[in-house]
Amino acid sequence: MHILYSKTLVDNLHIRLFLAEYLIIDPAWWKGRLQDPFWRLYRNGQNGSSLLLEDQSYLLYKDRFYFVPAGVRFKCQCRHELEHFYVHFEITGIPHIILQNLFHMPIRVPDSEPLNEMFRVLLDDIWTTGSRRLVTQLRTKSLIYEALALCLSAVPAEQRARINLDAEALEIMRPALEHIDKNLSSTITVTDLAARCNMSKDYFSRRFRQSVGTTPAQYILQQRLRYSSQELLYTSKKIDQIATEAGFGNRYYFTRAFSKNMGVSPARYRKGISPGLRQEGELGCVRKL
């Protein structure tokens, strides 16, 4: 037996889907200011729409894919009715600080005929069988993975090397990061996190800030806000239950922390009536195709 290639792979990156739709949007509905803790993938069937970030404008050209990373604040607008495909999703397994360092504004995915063919197969599947089948979920994830791979391949080598070094530094923090993600509803102490990384409390706090870019307490709050915002949008759980599951203790503390960081109360965020935070479907769904 001749082994041509062999390498152990570390499977860190995963995609969690929230919502995917193909619909018609128009100027009266597809507008407003958005900022959410999940990623978006866009593709329009016609020209005529754009994303606005402060003084920058990103035209969304027809038949091209675009990512909007989590946490990016932007306005959306279109001049006329057009076909709009979008996916809301979360990237898990990699600390979001790495992705923020790489992608902090809308990204146009490099053009790729294989990617376009994957999209055509996905749409055909949606037309014939609907969007809830397991096969459709897998094809949607495959589309996102391939688009992300194209974007990462286009990142300059020097920048990729710098980010890889950041990833290596974060590896020693992985036991703490994983514990935070799996135990948001519980009390999480710096002492416990430090012990999981075999460090003293003071040394752990310094290394955590150097590696992650924020303090342990701030990171825990960010993760609790990400979880609670997703539950508000994509479940029918009561706000009190979400507050408990996210580790805020009670609804009063949850509302205060959420409003301070997201700019709107949990109830308004869920209803989508804030000019700053709305669900995609409430912004633009005139009719589904």
Which of 214, 109, 107, 95 minimizes the C-alpha distance to 163?
95
Q: What percent of the chain has pLDDT over 90?
A: 49
Rounded to an integer, the average pLDDT of 124-149 is 87
pLDDT of residue 28: 87
Q: Mean pLDDT score of the chain, rounded to an integer?
A: 85
pLDDT per residue over 19-55, tens digit each?
A: 888 999 988 888 877 778 889 999 999 999 999 988 7
As a whole number of angstroms, the distance between CA 90 and CA 96 comes to 10
Rounded to an integer, the average pLDDT of 71-88 is 91
Enumerate domains of the chain plus CATH numbers. 14-159 (2.60.120.280), 172-263 (1.10.10.60)
Q: Are 150 and 112 in contact (CB under 8 A)?
A: yes
pLDDT of residue 109: 97
Confidence band of 84 (pLDDT split at 50, 70, 90): very high
pLDDT per residue over 214-237, tens digit each?
A: 899 999 998 999 899 889 988 889
pLDDT of residue 130: 66
Asked if the model's pLDDT at residue 119 lies above 80, the reply is yes
Round to the nearest angstrom and report the end-to-end CA distance of the chain.
53
Task: Give pTM, 2 decimals.
Answer: 0.78
Output the CA–CA distances (angstroms, integers) from residue 193 to 22, 78, 104, 172, 177, in the order listed: 43, 47, 28, 12, 8
pLDDT of residue 205: 95
- Provide the edge-to-edge strand list for the sheet that holds 14-25: 107-108, 65-68, 39-44, 82-92, 14-25, 287-288
As a whole number of angstroms, the distance between CA 200 and CA 191 comes to 8
Q: Are 275 and 32 in contact (CB under 8 A)?
A: yes
pLDDT of residue 8: 54
**Within 10 A of 287 (CB to CB), how many other CB atoms are there?**
9
